[in-house]
Structure 1
């Protein structure tokens, strides 16, 4: 029998005890493991270090993934109550606001697409829904910046190709400008639904209907609720790319759940249920996987993170539509167990990989996306005891400004921030919408809640 030397034995013991172990029946264990994984994730972040740019991940990560990571940290605070990253999040979000307060920083125009911008919009929307601490008083509120993102994208609705919809890319010089995809259009639909729930403004609900109908008409949402990636506008969207991504389906499921919670409509009930039924493709033996790339082992840097927003949207959907809880939660439970089991890579034994379906075997990959995905699916299992999302009149602390991002708001040093909407504001919303839609012919834009 060969015996290990004392140093080797100690090293082996350290490696064993350092590996992530989670008791999914214990909220304290879930919180502890989430803290460990979040800390590891931030080892890749340099935006809070000397010479770094707040909100920006280093190369080779694209700008959008910094926003995706901040959303995971907002969720981390929401689920665990741990405030240690709140200042980092606030600093990064405000820094990336841009002069028009809609997450259109000039130094990102080379790469920024509609779906990229929307991930930052999701951050401020979640911050408003969860009553995340407000930004500094001299900056626009979370909800007003979410409205600014919506306004800027609503203006880009394009009828030149395919009779409507958002293009994937914002700028003509970017590859993919003529492609119309589900992440961009599903993102606009999702944000509109959540703004409707928060403000009560019917105009946002009308935007949801328009986006859903267009996506359904061209086949991005199938009759059986699969969500396909996109279509070439130069072919008038007559041919579809039938690839399915987790996060696109999650966006629409979350939106349908939100709309059901506000309207109690059987239409939105059926849509939410249908979207969840179709999401079975993203699970193997009750464990989540990115079906379009994981089985082949060819997920790229972006795709390695898609399960993070999918987990986030699944959990949020259960909160807005509690009847989904007994259907979704068991799969989040088993997926979290599998994710934690394979977070045993690297020299620190807390590095997470991409694939959770390998029975606790780390696949050798690592990065922000892998840590973020494991974090989101594990902490999502705390959703049942998390506080309900708020709105303007149910505990919301973020004040709205529906004209921001349109050229009508003050984008100088003292931005306009309106008071929370009142019943009278809502009553006037339909009139204002009619006025503004007429004003569009003369170059006016959108509404003030």
Structure 2
């Protein structure tokens, strides 16, 4: 696998001459390490949680202005730093990551801190669980003491979320928000349900427990039968959200990179877990084909990723400014789990990485990264922009030596299927809907507030 990816770099040997921002040569590991080190450093200038008197794990907030970040994005950022360590070998941020992932655990030993309950989303928990999974799959040193293992933290989130399965409306699935008083509680969206799908698929592969795989299959089947998935002219459209107020009979026609990314990641893990059994190979191909057509438009050469719902109109919010980071990272992992996809994916990561580097020319330091990888610096900056550039450039260094570990392939994080519960039961024993009194919170508004995009966004209307 490593030799295949290395061979794909050959056509880009002269690409460095096209780079006008950070000096990036994709054929040089030292160059990639230098550039990603700079981007990671600049990203972490937004973070003060490791300083005296500050709260580990939190980015600037509360969100009363544009200079703030919801809880979920901090969790995602720490996952990007775990990948950065894997891509480059630089462990400078590992202690900060370990501290943050341990500090944000709630009293029920999962990612459910009470001080985040005012806008807790299922997807918010999922992104922190993804970072715990990243830590387990990379054998990041465990925090020790009374802190659960990395994999147990992900299992605790799964156990909590299994109790949110809602058959009272729409025949199943999970609502976006945990608390009924939070805006968006009426919605069932892709990133929450798809995030839970990915969580279950990754737990299945790590632990070898078929229970998680069965849950992932159940979640996929519900989503595929809902308006969130729509097959038309051979294409799979993964829409953003559907409304319980209408019993999920309609759908918001928005597509985002991270929705495709989370479904791709889950399907790739299921493909690997089942040793390539169908229909998972077909599902991986369908998601990839849809992502390639939507997010790598021919007008930018066909290989440069764009968040087309908001980038052209320059109205991406802080959440949306990070979405491409996840599709980049998850496409890279897909190459390892489904090796037949490498020849398709790597050229897109490489071209996107080159585009990302060339526009990192902004800010007071002259190297802040913007959103539009297909053009010059767009005047925006922030954690999301840095994370996106860091993730896509680092992803070009993916290789079989950093494939996600499992219990069977050297993973050392200890499984606890009852994590976060007080009873000796299997993860599927918590399927019945829970009451508001039973739910705990911690969270964010991640996508669009009731999916309204500021004027100028691109709508896809069937």
Q: Under a length normalisation based on structure 1, what TM-score does the superposition of the two structures give?
A: 0.86
Q: Find the counterpart in structure 2 of residue 127 from structure 1.
A: 135
Measured in 2, the distance between the counterparts of 1:438 and 1:130 equals: 29
Partner of 1:35, secondary structure, is helix
The answer to whether structure 1 residue 374 and structure 2 residue 389 are counterparts is yes
CA shift, 1:49, in A, is 1.3
- Contact kept in structure 1, 2:106 and 2:113, CA below 8 Å: yes
- Contact kept in structure 1, 2:242 and 2:249, CA below 8 Å: yes
> What are the within-5 Å matches in structure 2 for residues 200-219 of structure 1?
200-219=208-227
Output one character per residue of 1:315-365: Cα deviation in whole Å (capped at 9) or x when no partner. Answer: 11111111111001100000000000001112212200011111xx11000
CA shift, 1:390, in A, is 1.0
Q: Find the counterpart in structure 2 of residue 23 from structure 1.
A: 25
CA shift, 1:261, in A, is 1.0
- Contact kept in structure 1, 2:362 and 2:369, CA below 8 Å: yes
Measured in 2, the distance between the counterparts of 1:439 and 1:144 equals: 19
Output one character per residue of 1:244-282: Cα deviation in whole Å (capped at 9) or x when no partner. Answer: 010010011111111111212121000000100000201
Q: Find the counterpart in structure 1 of residue 237 from structure 2.
A: 226
Output one character per residue of 1:170-204: Cα deviation in whole Å (capped at 9) or x when no partner. Answer: 00110000100000000000010000001111110
Measured in 2, the distance between the counterparts of 1:438 and 1:136 equals: 28
> What are the within-5 Å matches in structure 2 for residues 36-47 of structure 1?
36-47=38-49
Q: Find the counterpart in structure 1 of residue 351 from structure 2.
A: 334
Measured in 1, the distance between the counterparts of 2:135 and 2:411 equals: 10
Q: Find the counterpart in structure 1 of residue 256 from structure 2.
A: 245
Measured in 2, the distance between the counterparts of 1:179 and 1:63 equals: 20
- Contact kept in structure 2, 1:166 and 1:185, CA below 8 Å: yes
- Contact kept in structure 1, 2:20 and 2:358, CA below 8 Å: no
- Contact kept in structure 1, 2:227 and 2:242, CA below 8 Å: no
**Larger RCO (alpha carbons 8 Å, 6+ apart):** 2
Q: Find the counterpart in structure 1 of residue 277 from structure 2.
A: 265
Q: Find the counterpart in structure 2 of residue 394 from structure 1.
A: 409
Q: Under a length normalisation based on structure 2, what TM-score does the superposition of the two structures give?
A: 0.84
The answer to whether structure 1 residue 311 and structure 2 residue 322 are counterparts is no
Equivalent position to 2:369, from 352, 355, 362: 352
Partner of 2:188, secondary structure, is strand
Larger Rg: 1
CA distance change for structure 1 residues 346 and 206 in 2, over 3 Å: closer, same or farther?
Answer: same
RMSD, aligned α-carbons: 2.0
- Contact kept in structure 2, 1:78 and 1:386, CA below 8 Å: no
Q: Find the counterpart in structure 1 of residue 192 from structure 2.
A: 184
Measured in 1, the distance between the counterparts of 2:328 and 2:280 equals: 21
Aligned residues: 401
Measured in 2, the distance between the counterparts of 1:302 and 1:347 equals: 23
CA shift, 1:396, in A, is 0.7
Partner of 1:226, secondary structure, is strand
Measured in 1, the distance between the counterparts of 2:185 and 2:422 equals: 24
CA shift, 1:437, in A, is 4.6
Measured in 2, the distance between the counterparts of 1:400 and 1:192 equals: 14
Unaligned 5+ segments in structure 1 are 1-16, 410-431, 444-449
Measured in 2, the distance between the counterparts of 1:34 and 1:408 equals: 45
CA distance change for structure 1 residues 313 and 101 in 2, over 3 Å: closer, same or farther?
Answer: same
